[in-house]
Amino acid sequence: MKIRVKLFGTLPQRYPGYDASQGLEVEIPDGAKVKELLARLKIFASDGGLVVIDNLVVQHDDALKEGVSVRIFQSAFGG
Amino acid sequence: MQFIRVNMSAQTVRVEDVPRDYVGLGGRGLTSIMINNEVPPTCDPLGPENKLIFAPGLLSGTSLVNTSRISIGAKSPLTGTIKESNAGGTVAAALGKLGITAIIVEGLAPQGKLFNLIIDQNGNAVLQAADDFKGMRTYALVERLLQDHGEKNGVLCIGPAGEYQLASASIQTSDVDGRPCRAAGRGGLGAVMGVKGIKAIVISRQGKNPDAIADPESFKESAKVFAKAVKDHPFSGQMLGALGTAGLVSAVNSIGAFPSYNATKGVFEGWKKISGEVLAETIQKRGGQTTHMGCSQCIIRCSNVFVDEGGKYVTASLEYETIWSMGGMPGIDDLDVIARLDFLSDDIGLDTINTGVAIGVAMDAGYKEFGDGQAAIELMEEIAKGTEIGKVLGNGPAAVGKHFNHHRVPVVKGQSIAAYDPRGMQGNGVTYATSPMGADHTAGNLVGAYLGGVLNPLEAEGQVKASRKAQIAMASLDCTGLCMLAGAALAAPDVSEALLKMINAKLGTQLGADDIPALGIRVLKAELEFNRNAGFTSKDDRLAKFFYEEPLPPHNKVFVVTDEDLDSTFDFE
C-alpha cells in the first residue's frame, strides 16, 4: 500500500530534493506497522520519531491503513 | 556569597554576607523563599513593601554549560501572587563570577526619579541618577549604557512599559551580542522595577571572584558528562540548533493544540507559513542566522537572528511562544510582521505572550480585524506612547476583556496561557490552573509527554500526576540556573546523577537523589504559603470559564479535569 509522508524538523534534509508541499510517497506492505515505516525511512529511536495521523500521536506498534497521511517529527519537549 | 541590598527610598547600597538561612539556595528557590519570608503577602505589589530580587542559579558562574538563567522574583502586579520569571542572556553568569548571590531592591524611589545601578568588576555597586534615560526604549538604552560603561557588561533594564508600570511590562536582559532581546516577561515584573525607580542594572562580565567550588575535580568530571548528554540528545543537540523552539509550531498544530484566533481553533490555517521549517528557510535565504548563541556558555544555540529582505537586523530570537502569541492568537500568518512585533515587545519592554494575547482578545472583541498585522503594530505603538487604549492593552488580556466587556479571556489569575491549549493538552491546563505563578507553561510543560505518545492529551486520566511531577521538577531546575531546554537530557539517570554530583561538588554537601525533588517541593510550598496568606484559595485555581464550555476544534474537547482533581495537584505525600 502507498502512504503519504511529510517530514519535519531536520528530517527533510536527509532526502535530497524533498518537496515540503508534496512530502514523500512510500510503498509498504499491507497492514505494516508504524515502526516498519520508520525503519524504511531510516528514522531511528535516537531521532525521536514522533508520528501523527489525523491530529493524534500514534504508537510505533500501531498498524497503518492505506491512503493515510502521516507526519513525522523529531522529539520535542518545550519552548 | 554576597547580597547587594539596594534601598530605593534612601538610595543606599549595602553589601552583606548571605545570611545562614539562605545559604545553599539560588535562582527561584532563593527568590521565592526570601519573598515568602520578607514580603508582606497582602502588600501592594507597586508599594514600598514589595521587594524585587535578582538571583542567578546555584550553578551560574561555574564552568557548566547552559547555566545562564537569572531568576527575578517579587509579588506580581499582574497576578497578585508570588512570581518568579527567569531569563537567559549574560547577567546570571556575570553575577555568578562576581560571587553575588542576589540583588535585592527594596523601598521606592521618590516619584519621577530614575536611577541606574552599576556593578563593577570588583562587585562594587553604586546608584547613578538616570533622569536622562527616562522614556528610552531598550535597544537605544543598552547601546548607550554599553558605550558609557564598556561592552564587557551585561544589562537588565526596562522600557517605557516598565516606567508606565503596566502589568505586562518585562525586564529585558542583554544577550552575548549586547542586545536587550532576552526577557523575564511573565508577571509584570518590569512594572515593579519601574515603580522602584530603576531603569537599568549594569553588571560587569569580568568578575573573577566566583564562590569557591568545594570539590573542583568532581565538578569538572560531571560537567563533562552533562555537556556531552546535551549535545547527544536529539532535541537539544539537533532540533533546537537547526530550528530553535519554533520547531514546535508544526508539531503542536499537527495535534490540534495551537490556540488560534483567541483560542477558538486548535489548528491555525496559516501555520505552514510561520512554521520553524519556513522560519529557518527564510532566515537562511536572507543571510540571517538560524543558529545563534544568545546566552553565555550556551552549547544548544536555539537562538536565531531574523533579518528583513534586505538582510537588515529585525530581531533575535524569534521563538515558539512569540510566533504563537503574535501569530496564531491574532491570526497573523506573516513572519515579517511577527518578527517586527517581537522586536517592538523587546524594545518597549513587554511580555510577548501577555501582549500578543491582549491584542488577540481585542480583535476577538471586534476592536480590530483578526489577521491585521499593521493594526497590531500600531497597537504596540499605542502602548509605547502610553495612550489610554495603549495602557489597557499593556495591562494584559484580563484588562482588555474588562475594557471591552468580552468574555473569552484565556488567563488564570490574570496571566495569559501560553502556546498550548488546555483543551488539546489537558495536563498543561492543570499546570496553568494550579501553578503558584498564574498560567505559565514554564512551571510544568507536558508537551514532551504528549508528542512522545506516553500520555493521552485529551483525557483527564493521568494529567494531575504528570503536572505535579513536572511542576516539582521545574521548581528544582529553576534553582540551578540551568536552561529548561538543556533539561531534556536529564531524563537519563547518569545525567541526573551528574547534576546531583555537581550540586554537591559546588556546595560541599552530601545530598541524595531524593533531595532534588525535595528542594522543588520546598520551593512550591513557600510559594503556595505566600499565595494563601495573600488571600488566594483553591477557587482561584481554575481556568477561565470558556475553556469548560466552548469545545476546541479539531478535537472538539473542553477542559475535563475536575475541580476535585485539580485541588489534589499539590498533595505531595
Position A78 in a domain:
no
* pLDDT confidence of residue B142: 98
Report strand pairing: B2-7 vs B12-17: antiparallel
Residue A74 pLDDT class (50, 70, 90 cuts): confident
* pLDDT confidence of residue B455: 96
CB-nearest to A9 from B243, B441, B448 is: B243
Residue A45 reports pLDDT greater than 80:
no
Q: A53 and chain B: CB distance < 8 Å anywhere?
A: no
Distances (CA, A) of B46 to B32, B43, B50, B108, B535: 18, 8, 7, 9, 17
B335-348 helix and B352-364 helix, angle to the nearest 10 degrees: 120
The total of structural domains in chain A comes to 1
* pLDDT tens-digit readout, B248-271: 999 999 999 999 999 999 999 999
Q: Which fold has domain B2-204?
A: Aldehyde Ferredoxin Oxidoreductase;  A, domain 1 (3.60.9)
Rounded Cα distance, B567 and B563, in Å = 6
Rounded Cα distance, B565 and B450, in Å = 20
Q: B239 and chain A: CB distance < 8 Å anywhere?
A: yes
Q: A73 and chain B: CB distance < 8 Å anywhere?
A: yes
Closest to B452 in 3D by CA, of B491, B498, B497? B491
Residue B141 reports pLDDT greater than 80:
yes
Q: A39 and chain B: CB distance < 8 Å anywhere?
A: no
SS (H, E, C) B347-396: HHCECHHHHHHHHHHHHHCCCCCCCCHHHHHHHHHHHHHCCHHHHHHHCC
Percent of chain B with pLDDT over 90: 99
ipTM above 0.90, yes or no: yes
Q: A10 and chain B: CB distance < 8 Å anywhere?
A: yes
Residue range A34-40: mean pLDDT, rounded = 95
Residue B143 reports pLDDT greater than 80:
yes
Rounded Cα distance, B211 and B283, in Å = 41
Residue B318 reports pLDDT greater than 70:
yes
B52: β partners: B105
- Nearest C-alpha of chain A: how many angstroms from B29? 22
Rounded to the nearest 5 degrees, what angle is found at the Cα of A67, between the Cα atoms of A62 and A73?
55
Q: Which of residues 320-339 of B touch A (CB under 8 A)?
A: 320-321
SS (H, E, C) B285-312: HHCCEEEECCCCCCCCCEEEEEECCCCC
> For residue A39, what are the domain limits?
2-73
CB-nearest to A10 from B242, B484, B487 is: B242
* pLDDT confidence of residue B362: 98
CB-nearest to B239 from A10, A55, A71 is: A10
Place of cell 500514534: A58
| Cβ proximity of A58 and A51 under 8 Å | yes
* pLDDT tens-digit readout, B156-207: 999 999 999 999 999 999 999 999 999 999 999 999 999 999 999 999 999 9
Position A79 in a domain:
no
Closest to B295 in 3D by CA, of B485, B496, B32, B83? B485
| Cβ proximity of A74 and B234 under 8 Å | yes
Average pLDDT, chain B: 97
* pLDDT tens-digit readout, B124-136: 999 999 999 999 9
Percent of chain B with pLDDT over 70: 100
Closest to B482 in 3D by CA, of B466, B498, B494? B498
Residues of chain A with C-beta less than 8 angstroms from the C-beta of B284: none
**What SS3 state is found at B400?**
helix
* pLDDT confidence of residue B387: 98
- Nearest C-alpha of chain A: how many angstroms from B352? 14
CB-nearest to B488 from A10, A58, A77 is: A77
Q: B343 and chain A: CB distance < 8 Å anywhere?
A: no
* pLDDT confidence of residue A49: 81
Rounded Cα distance, A8 and B484, in Å = 22
Residue B456 pLDDT class (50, 70, 90 cuts): very high
Residue A79 reports pLDDT greater than 70:
no
User: Dihedral of CA B244/B249/B250/B255: which sign?
Assistant: positive
Residue B290 reports pLDDT greater than 70:
yes
* pLDDT tens-digit readout, B344-359: 999 999 999 999 999 9
**How crowded is residue B223: how many other Cβ atoms within 10 Å of its Cβ?**
21
Report pTM. Answer: 0.98
**How crowded is residue B281: how many other Cβ atoms within 10 Å of its Cβ?**
13
Q: B235 and chain A: CB distance < 8 Å anywhere?
A: yes
* pLDDT confidence of residue B537: 98
Task: Write the burial class of residue B562 (CB in 10 Å: 0-12 exposed, 13-18 middle, 19+ buried).
Answer: exposed
* pLDDT confidence of residue A77: 80
CATH number at residue A63: 3.10.20.30
Residue A76 pLDDT class (50, 70, 90 cuts): confident
* Cα-to-chain-centroid distance, residue B216: 31
Residue B395 reports pLDDT greater than 80:
yes
* pLDDT confidence of residue B214: 97
Residues of chain A with C-beta less than 8 angstroms from the C-beta of B453: 50, 57-59
